[in-house]
A and B are shown apart, each in its own frame.
Chain A
């Protein structure tokens, strides 16, 4: 699955604009984080049809960076993130971005962006989550 990252100068209404563009095209947002930091806004999006979303956003003047995400499924309990992040740290893999997509039935599904995706997939082979749709 791909993550779409948009970096732009922060101003009121960016999220309204981006979510309007996607909503109008009937695209559901699976995951979203937005963070304003030192005058910039960083918006991370996950949608099913990342190509279509990326094209729509580009047509509206947004520069979109597409990156591969690693999806993991872990137990929803204290220490679960710790064991995953420790394994990455021990292999000197840097986590560039992380967010929680959903929690259900005692599990959480998270999306990670790392600097060494191949190595990370090998290390986390036992908890990788395949998105079926």
Chain B
């Protein structure tokens, strides 16, 4: 799975614009996080058709950085995120981005972007869902 990251100057309406572009093209946003920080805004998106979404955004002047992410399935219980993140930490792997994609049936699907994806895949082989 790919994550699209857009980093730009913060202003009112950025999110409205981006979500309008994708909505008009009938692209469903599977997950989104946005964070304004020091006059900048960082928007992370996951969509099914990331190539098409990136092209549409580029055509409207938004540079979207595509990056590979790991989707991890863990029990939805206290301490589960701690187990995963400790395993990554012990291997000296840095988590660059994290969000929850979905929750249900006692499990949650967490999306990780890390600095060493190969090593992380090996370490988390037992709970990686796809990608």
Q: CA of A22 to CA of B10 in the docked complex: distance in angstroms?
A: 32
CB of A9, distance to nearest CB on chain B (Å): 12
| CA–CA, A79 and B34, complex, Å | 17
Task: Assess A102 versus B98: contact at CB under 8 Å? Given A28-B78, A96-B36.
Answer: no
- Asked, given contacts A36-B95, A37-B42, whether A93 binds B12 with beta carbons under 8 Å apart, the answer is yes
Contact of B98 with A33 in the complex, beta carbons under 8 Å: yes
Determine whether the beta carbon of B23 is less than 8 Å from that of A81. Answer: yes
Q: How far is the CA of A19 from the CA of B102 in the complex (A)?
A: 18
- Residue-by-residue, is A101-127 near B (CB-CB < 8 Å gives 1, otherwise 0)? 111100000100000000000000000
Task: Count B-side interface residues using an 8 Å CB cutoff.
Answer: 52
Interface residue A23 (Cβ < 8 Å from any Cβ of B): yes
Contacts of B95 in A (CB 8 A): 15, 34, 36
CA distance A132 to B19 in the complex (A): 29
Bound-state Cα–Cα, A81 to B28, Å: 9
Interface size on A, residues (CB 8 A): 52
Any A CB within 8 A of the CB of B79: yes
Query: In the complex the two chains form, is A12's CB within 8 Å of B93's CB?
Result: yes
Where chain B touches its partner, the secondary structure class is: mixed
In the bound assembly, the distance between CA atoms of A81 and B44 in angstroms comes to 14
Question: Which residues does chain A contribute within 8 Å of B97, judged by CB atoms?
Answer: 33-36
User: Is B52 an interface residue, CB under 8 A from the partner?
Assistant: no
Are the C-beta atoms of B102 and A82 separated by less than 8 Å? no
A15 touches B98 (CB 8 A): yes
Judged by a CB distance under 8 angstroms, whether A128 is at the interface is no
Nearest residue in B to A21 (C-beta to C-beta)? B82
Nearest CB of chain A from residue B2's CB, rounded to whole Å: 17
Determine whether the beta carbon of A16 is less than 8 Å from that of B86.
yes
Question: Could you say which residues of chain A place their CB within 8 Å of the CB of B104?
Answer: 102, 104
B14-28 contacts to A, CB under 8 A, are 15-17, 19-20, 22-28
Q: List 7 A-B contacts (CB under 8 A).
A: A28-B77, A32-B100, A37-B37, A81-B32, A86-B16, A89-B16, A99-B32
Interface residues of B (CB under 8 A from A): 7, 10-13, 15-17, 19-20, 22-29, 31-37, 40, 42, 44, 76-83, 85-86, 88-89, 92-100, 102-104
